[in-house]
Amino acid sequence: MKLKIIKPKTRPIQIEPWFFKYLNEGQLKVVAAILSHADIKDRQSNSFPSNRVIAFYCGFGDIKEGSKASLEYKKLTDEEKIKFKKKKIKTAIITVANIKKQLETMGLLKREFVGPKGKQIVYMNLDLEWKKEQYLKEHDEFFNDVKYENNEDEKENIAKELEELQRLTLEGNISQENLANRLKNLSYKIDANNTEKSQVPLEDIDKVATYIMNTTKIQNKIDEGTIENKEAYKKSIIKSISNNSFNGIEKYYEALVKKEEKDMLETLTVSLEENEKETFYQKNILYFKDLIFTNNIFLATYQSKDKKISKEYIISDEKIKYYLHSSYFYTKQNKELLDNYNQAIKDFQEMLRKPQEIKNKGDTS
């Protein structure tokens, strides 16, 4: 497989600033490894590095001095050390494969087949322009300090409209139906200019609109041709959410938040099952059993094969950042949960120190 990097001609290869916003730590490492492997002559091509090479660049299989793995490693015999290293390398390669799949799903890595059948060359394209436009738009809004405040002109228009409706009502020159419709539209305008009344946080409106577009009901309408212009339909949903006129938006938003929570739990569970099946505890090997979410933290249970020994470990903030997407991709509630995860760990450990709480918990994995 060949490597091809899409980049501006006048610039050297680098980790683009928007990558830090949209990628997690593991994904950043893999992208950096692929960039490092690019041919030194043009910095744009080479053979695509194998999963083993990428794992080496990323240091996924390394046994870091002072780490838990290092302490376990030093206790092993020479024969056990060889097996331990092989297992670490195998796990590292699996980790790379999983991250590459994530990057392909996101659109950062793309496969390109060149040439006739039977003689095709496969290029794995690394697109450094990925998410650039979205980042620039958000970047511009951030530095221009956009504030979602009531527009003075809009306030004036609303006041004039109210005066006009009052005059028409007193004169009897407006039907009840027309009056009701105009008052309803006016209410939408007022709510749209009052962010405190918004049922969905501003930063989550696009996310919940995307969620609604992906529901079975909407997808069926798209497949049937009832909805022909998906972009226009999504914009109409966003507008309805913004002015609080979308019926049942609270249920959709709540469902999205719960889906994110479920996805986080499932992603972490699969990651631990594949990459951290075993751990050592007092000369015993414990095996991953399950993962739960409680008290705003993730708790993993490991137990011995005979099920006589069982121990719970707090999943650390570092592992959350490594295995999950950047908090930016989540709704406000879950974003705050991830951003404040370290504090949640401290609160949980403090709770465990109380005499009435169950002991023998609180180790951070």
Reported pTM: 0.50
Q: How confident is the model at residue 291 (pLDDT cuts 50, 70, 90)?
A: very high
284, 239: one domain = no
CB atoms closer than 10 angstroms to residue 281: 15
30, 90: one domain = yes
**216: exposed, middle or buried (Cβ count in 10 Å: 0-12, 13-18, 19+):** exposed
161, 242: one domain = no
Closest of 95, 157, 154, 156 to residue 322, by C-alpha: 95
User: What 8-state DSSP symbol labels residue 196?
Assistant: G
Last residue of a domain, one of 81, 102, 133: 133
271, 289: one domain = yes
The answer to the question of residue 71 being in a domain is yes
Closest of 23, 22, 58 to residue 37, by C-alpha: 58
> Order of strands, edge to edge, in the sheet holding 284-294?
278-281, 284-294, 297-303, 310-314, 363-364
- Return the SS3 of 310: strand
The answer to the question of residue 143 being in a domain is no
Token digits of residue 309: 């020994």
pLDDT digits (tens, 9 = 90+) for 312-327: 999 999 999 999 988 8
234, 112: one domain = no
The answer to the question of residue 275 being in a domain is yes
The answer to the question of residue 224 being in a domain is yes
The domain tally of the chain equals 4
31, 53: one domain = yes
The answer to the question of residue 207 being in a domain is yes
Task: Spell out a b/e string for 321-342, using b for 16 or more CB atoms within 10 Å of the CB, else e.
Answer: bbbbbbbeebbeebbebbeebe
Q: Looking at residue 314, what is its pLDDT? A: 94
The answer to the question of residue 138 being in a domain is no
Strand partners, 310: 303
346, 287: one domain = yes
The answer to the question of residue 341 being in a domain is yes
The domain of 120 spans 2-133
Q: How far apart are CA 338 and CA 320, in angstroms?
A: 8
188, 217: one domain = no
Token digits of residue 262: 């479920």
pLDDT digits (tens, 9 = 90+) for 123-181: 888 888 888 777 766 654 444 333 444 455 666 777 788 888 888 777 766 777 777 77
95, 15: one domain = yes
129, 22: one domain = yes
The answer to the question of residue 222 being in a domain is yes
Q: How confident is the model at residue 356 (pLDDT cuts 50, 70, 90)?
A: low
306, 337: one domain = yes
Strand partners, 125: 4, 110
